[in-house]
């Protein structure tokens, strides 16, 4: 793994009127590293990702990607970033191939038709190439989202529940493809999921976020024991119910 910094977040904040959604979050993701961002619903995970994508304007703090300030070099940075999120629906009246072609144009992908064929094969979407995306099952749509996320060979991938609604066999294939992509290209991956097995399996490091703050950080296979928990799921439940006790009382 290369240790160059791909994503640097420092004291990132987002406030909506009287609600602080993200409260001074700081973390770094290195080249070739897959980092899990864990937390209950409403903890600030999606808001953080939305700020990293430029969808939401931060209230404070800084984001650096590829060593460049995001606010100043947004267009240049986003050309090398991609994402997959269950809530970001693709146009349902266009086919899978048409969807990928449109996004390929937006990202300026060279040899776009060839790239699409490669991704259709990799994500087992060939038989759905001419199917309107709106007629696909939720699992099939998730695979299209992931194919879209790989279109521009991104150096930073943001994945928000990327395997939601995919059966266990397909989920394992997706995890392996993302792991291999990060290892082969040195791309960095930020990955949210409620599947603790998946996080243990795929992530090099995890960050627990609660009430907009990072509470814990470490290796997902070692961190539970440090807090007297049997596994990541038990630690997740404790971090959700009693976050302050974990912050100050590691084993």
With contact defined as beta carbons under 8 Å apart, do 45 and 192 qualify? yes
Angstrom distances, CA of residue 187 to CA of 23, 149, 190, 218, 237: 27, 12, 10, 20, 30
d(CA 150, CA 109): 11
Question: What is the per-residue pLDDT for 42?
Answer: 84
Question: What is the per-residue pLDDT for 89?
Answer: 83
d(CA 32, CA 74): 22
- For residue 83, the cross-strand partners are 158
Average pLDDT over residues 43-70: 94
pTM of the model: 0.90
Biggest CA-to-CA distance, the chain: 55
pLDDT in tens, 194-233: 888 899 999 999 999 988 999 889 999 999 999 889 999 8
With a CB cutoff of 8 Å and minimum separation 6, the contacts of 227 are: 216, 235, 238, 246, 249, 250, 251
Question: What is the per-residue pLDDT for 2?
Answer: 46
Residue 40's pLDDT band, with cuts at 50, 70 and 90, is confident
Residue 30's pLDDT band, with cuts at 50, 70 and 90, is very high
Question: What is the per-residue pLDDT for 131?
Answer: 97
């Amino acid at each position: 793994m290369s240790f160059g910094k791909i994503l640097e977040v420092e004291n990132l904040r987002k406030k909506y009127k009287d609600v602080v959604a993200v409260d001074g979050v700081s973390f770094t993701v290195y080249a070739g590293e897959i980092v899990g961002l864990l937390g209950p619903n409403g903890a600030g995970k999606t808001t953080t990702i939305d700020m990293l994508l430029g969808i939401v304007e931060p209230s404070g703090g800084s984001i650096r990607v590829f060593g460049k300030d995001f606010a100043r070099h947004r267009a240049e940075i986003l050309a090398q970033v991609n994402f997959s999120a269950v809530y970001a629906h693709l146009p349902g009246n266009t086919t899978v191939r048409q969807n990928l072609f449109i996004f390929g144009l937006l990202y300026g992908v060279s040899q776009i038709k060839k790239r699409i064929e490669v991704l259709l094969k990799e994500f087992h979407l060939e038989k759905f190439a001419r199917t309107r995306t709106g007629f696909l099952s939720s699992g099939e749509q998730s695979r299209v989202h992931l194919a879209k996320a790989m279109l521009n060979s991104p150096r930073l991938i943001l994945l928000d529940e990327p395997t939601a609604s995919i059966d266990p066999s397909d989920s394992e294939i997706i995890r392996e493809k993302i792991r291999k992509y990060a290892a082969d290209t040195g791309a960095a991956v930020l990955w949210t999921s409620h599947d603790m097995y998946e996080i243990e399996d795929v992530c090099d490091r995890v960050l627990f976020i609660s009430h907009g703050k990072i509470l814990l950080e470490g290796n997902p296979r070692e961190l539970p024991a440090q807090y007297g928990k049997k596994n990541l799921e038990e630690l997740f439940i404790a971090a959700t119910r009693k976050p302050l006790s974990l912050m100050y009382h590691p084993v």
